[in-house]
Amino acid sequence: MITIRIDAKDTAGTVAQIQQELGGQIIERWGEYTLSIDNDLAKGNIKFITFDWGVSLLEYDLTFFDEVTLIMDASQFNPIHFAYCMEGYCGHKFGYQSDEEIRILEQFQSVIITSRDGGYNYGYFPKDIKLRINVIQISRKPFIRKRLNHGEELNKQLYRVFLDTDHEKVFSYFGTYNLKLADRIGAISKVKGKGMIRIMQIQGLIYQILSMHMLQHNREVNNKPLPTTLLKRELKLIRDCAKKIEKNISTNYTLESISLETGLTQAKLQEGFKLLYSQTVTEFIRNARLEVARDMISNTELSISEIVYSIGFSSRSYFSKIFKEKYGISPSEFKKNKMLLSAVA
């Protein structure tokens, strides 16, 4: 068992104290910090970014080779934690009573936690389990000063948590699973920008992720459960299926073939895609192909016809029609504009 005691004043200090116990090296690029670890204690990385509006992003992507307990003293740094488990699981309890139950943050679950001033958060991480955990931390005073406009739109319970700037009360909410959050959080790792552009793109995603945490809490406080009859494992199958479609975009997918492959009925597939992506299966495939086509027009020397057939379309005229409907410009005009911009650059 590895026990790490945290009494830092901010996220940077928290990661530095983890480094003291686990080793590794911290590298900074444009305000984005990465602690990389590869030893007998753990393998992977912990990333964090701190913004000037009272918010920090902390991401765990690693495997511990022994059970780990983080004992976090809330005297110096006591943010509201909006946590989401992309992979694996972990545990949490407040440190007020020795017999307090450890609650499990499971895969695809949304959790909101904050301690009281002088209290403790205990985090429990399993051995030999791949962990991917996203945590958005909000320091209440700077956040309220800069960002919490129209906070009354939150439900009263969560609004009181934000206004508790003296940290007098504990709060914990363990929500139901939410795969829409998984897709938004997964988008962070796909950000392609560099430098300040990258940080701004990540910041935009953080706004979306926070709003989704809060909306889910509102919905469940008002007894409005996830609007679907699908089971967690079925939604995960649909999400995995969507990823496969994006990676193999030229395959001739049909609703029937996807149904046979996943074992889900066509009705469940449609329900799941509408819930997760606000699109039917056919719309999702078509839009995924258009996104790939746009990238190929921008970044390759292939002709429009070559691109059309390489991504699974059989009609160039149909492709041109739906491309213009989506982007407001024909593929040929888009390609010409890109060539002009390249020549100027």
In-domain check, residue 227: no
* Same domain assignment for residues 110 and 208: yes
Task: Report which of residues 114 and 164 the model is more confident about.
Answer: 114
State the Cα angle at 71 between 179 and 160, rounded to 5°.
60
* Same domain assignment for residues 68 and 216: yes
Rounded mean pLDDT, 42-58: 95
Beta bridge partners of 6: 72
pLDDT of residue 225: 60
In-domain check, residue 310: yes
Rounded mean pLDDT, 225-242: 80
* Same domain assignment for residues 27 and 157: yes
* Same domain assignment for residues 207 and 301: no
Beta bridge partners of 5: 71
pLDDT of residue 345: 46
Task: Report which of residues 96 and 21 the model is more confident about.
Answer: 21
For 262, the domain range is 232-344
Residue 338 predicted with pLDDT over 80 = no
In-domain check, residue 238: yes
Percent of the chain residues past pLDDT 90, beyond the cut: 50
Q: How far apart are CA 253 and CA 16, in angstroms?
A: 48
Residue 335 maps to which CATH number?
1.10.10.60
43: closest CA among 133, 135, 134, 129? 129
* Same domain assignment for residues 141 and 254: no
Q: What is the DSSP letter of 187?
A: G
Task: Report which of residues 273 and 45 the model is more confident about.
Answer: 45
Last residue of a domain, one of 165, 196, 221: 221
pLDDT of residue 218: 85
Last residue of a domain, one of 221, 242, 257: 221
Rounded mean pLDDT, 304-309: 90
* Same domain assignment for residues 131 and 175: yes
* Same domain assignment for residues 46 and 106: yes
Last residue of a domain, one of 186, 221, 256: 221
pLDDT in tens, 200-220: 999 999 999 999 998 888 888
In-domain check, residue 226: no
pLDDT in tens, 89-139: 999 999 766 667 889 998 888 999 999 888 899 999 999 999 999 999 999
* Same domain assignment for residues 215 and 269: no
In-domain check, residue 187: yes
Residue 87 predicted with pLDDT over 50 = yes
Residue 299 predicted with pLDDT over 50 = yes
Q: Domains in the chain: how many in total?
A: 2
Band of residue 156 on the pLDDT scale cut at 50, 70, 90: confident
Task: Please spell the DSSP secondary structure of 45-109, one letter per residue.
Answer: EEEEEE-TTSEEEEEEEEEESS-EEEEEETTT--PEEEEEEEES-EEEEETT-TTPPPEEE-TTE
* Same domain assignment for residues 200 and 240: no
Phi, psi of 131 (to 5 degrees): -115, 135
* Same domain assignment for residues 139 and 173: yes
The first and second tokens of residue 99, run together, are 């017999």
In-domain check, residue 87: yes
Residue 136 maps to which CATH number?
2.60.120.10
pLDDT of residue 97: 60
* Same domain assignment for residues 259 and 308: yes
* Same domain assignment for residues 107 and 20: yes
Beta bridge partners of 121: 72, 94
pLDDT of residue 343: 47
The first and second tokens of residue 342, run together, are 């390249």
Residue 282 predicted with pLDDT over 50 = yes
The first and second tokens of residue 287, run together, are 């839009």
